[in-house]
Amino acid sequence: MKRRAFTLIELLVVIAIIAILAAILFPVFAQAKVAAKKTQAISNFKQAGVAVAMYTTDYDGTFMLSNSGSINGPGWGYGPPDTVPLQQMAPYIKNTQIAIDPMDPWQSENQRITDQCLYMGCTLATASAVQKAYALGVRANIGYNYAFFSPWVYRASTDRYVGSGSVNETEVAQTANTLMWGTSIWDRVANGGPTGGGNWVIETPCWLDESGNLLSPMSKFGADLWSYGTGWATTNNWLIYGGLWPFYNQTAVPGLPGLVDGHVIIGYADTHVKAKSIKSITEGCSTYGVGVRRGTRTDKDKFIWDLE
Q: What is the pTM of this model?
A: 0.87
In the chain, domain spans: 8-281
- Which 8-state DSSP code applies to residue 165? -
Indicate the Cα dihedral angle 93, 243, 277, 51, nearest 10°. Answer: 10
CA distance 5 to 67: 72
CA distance 105 to 194: 8
CA distance 259 to 101: 19
Q: What is the pLDDT of residue 74?
A: 47
CA distance 181 to 205: 14
Q: What is the pLDDT of residue 221?
A: 83
> Helices (H) and strands (E) in the chain — how many of each?
6, 11
Q: Which of 58, 105, 67 is nearest to 86 (CA)?
A: 67
Q: In what order do the strands lie in the sheet with 225-226?
A: 160-164, 152-155, 225-226
State which residues of the chain have pLDDT below 50.
74
Tell me the pLDDT tens digit for each residue of 32-90. Answer: 787 889 999 999 999 999 999 999 999 999 999 998 776 555 456 678 888 899 999 99
